[in-house]
């Protein structure tokens, strides 16, 4: 029997983690080179009830489309015996799938290399290379902003209670000195994630990370939230209480997906 927490984790992987593969296609030169001429479908699925749960990733010359319905055909198909094992694999565990499509060995190697890049988001990943440090922060914040909205839409009681008592508010997160910026819009229980700076109204809360170094201090949990604010790794414009709420939900998402 599939546990509710495993279903929630799989939903976050499918709807929040897989979309950040687009960041690698755009911002990582090696990944972009591998996929620049690719037109192929890669399916990652787990057996669930009488069918499958997962995603069909369509790579088309540097672009990525994600379909959750067409899971029976693809150039390469990864099949896991359970949702839990699929989650474990995506979190960097040792669960192994059956793989159909070994004839596409070049595509398979490229895709595995791409998945390994996602390990940059793991809490214990401490890249020293400047570009990988940038990628870690961008991947993590892009993922978590989407995951915050998906957590609410999945019916999480704590998130639903928190969003349900708020009027129209913008929670902005940005990293000083970079192009990294995301936001979450909350309105009477509904949420929507976005990229970039929200310009139509002033954010209710704006969490500004002090460059890549400051962001990593928080993401790697080298400093608790209050300490991070005190040490100026992050500055808060707006309500510190609601900023702390966002941080708590971010940490919860990290625990579900790692």
Give residue-wise pLDDT tens across range 138-188: 999 999 999 999 999 999 999 999 999 999 999 999 999 999 999 999 999
Structural domains in the chain plus CATH codes: 4-121 (3.30.1050.10), 130-257 (3.30.1050.10)
pLDDT grade for 91, boundaries at 50, 70 and 90: confident
Please state, in angstroms and rounded to a whole number, the distance separating the CA atoms of residues 171 and 193: 10
Q: Give the tens place of pLDDT for each residue, 36-58.
A: 999 999 999 999 998 999 999 99
Q: How many CA atoms lie within 13 A of 255 on its CB side?
A: 8
Instruction: Give the residue from 81, 92, 33, 21 showing the smallest Cα distance to 54.
Output: 81
Please state, in angstroms and rounded to a whole number, the distance separating the CA atoms of residues 107 and 101: 9
Summarize the confidence of residues 90-111 as an average pLDDT: 92
Summarize the confidence of residues 13-39 as an average pLDDT: 95
**Global confidence as pTM:** 0.92
């Amino acid at each position: 029997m599939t546990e509710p927490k495993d279903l929630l984790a799989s939903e976050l992987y499918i709807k929040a983690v897989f979309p950040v593969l687009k960041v690698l296609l755009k911002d990582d030169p090696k990944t972009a080179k591998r996929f620049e001429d690719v037109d192929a479908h890669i399916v990652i699925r787990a057996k669930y009830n009488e069918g499958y749960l997962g995603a069909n990733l369509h790579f088309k010359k540097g672009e990525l489309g994600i379909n959750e319905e067409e899971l029976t055909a693809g150039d390469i198909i990864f099949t896991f015996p359970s949702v839990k094992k699929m989650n474990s694999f995506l979190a960097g565990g040792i669960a192994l799938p059956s793989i159909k499509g070994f004839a596409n060995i070049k595509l398979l190697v490229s895709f595995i290399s791409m998945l390994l890049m996602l390990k940059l988001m793991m809490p214990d990943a401490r890249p020293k290379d400047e570009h990988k440090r940038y990628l870690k922060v961008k991947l993590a914040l892009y993922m978590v902003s989407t995951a915050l909205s998906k957590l609410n839409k999945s019916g999480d009681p704590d998130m639903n209670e928190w969003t349900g008592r708020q009027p129209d508010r913008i929670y902005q997160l940005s990293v000083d000195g970079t192009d990294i910026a995301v936001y979450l819009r909350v309105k009477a229980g509904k949420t929507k994630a976005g990229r970039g700076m929200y310009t139509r109204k002033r954010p209710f809360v704006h969490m500004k990370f002090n460059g890549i170094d400051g962001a990593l201090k928080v993401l790697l949990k080298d400093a608790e939230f209050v300490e991070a604010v005190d040490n100026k790794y992050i500055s808060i414009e707006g309500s510190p209480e609601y900023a702390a709420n966002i941080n708590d939900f971010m940490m919860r998402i990290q625990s579900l997906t790692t």
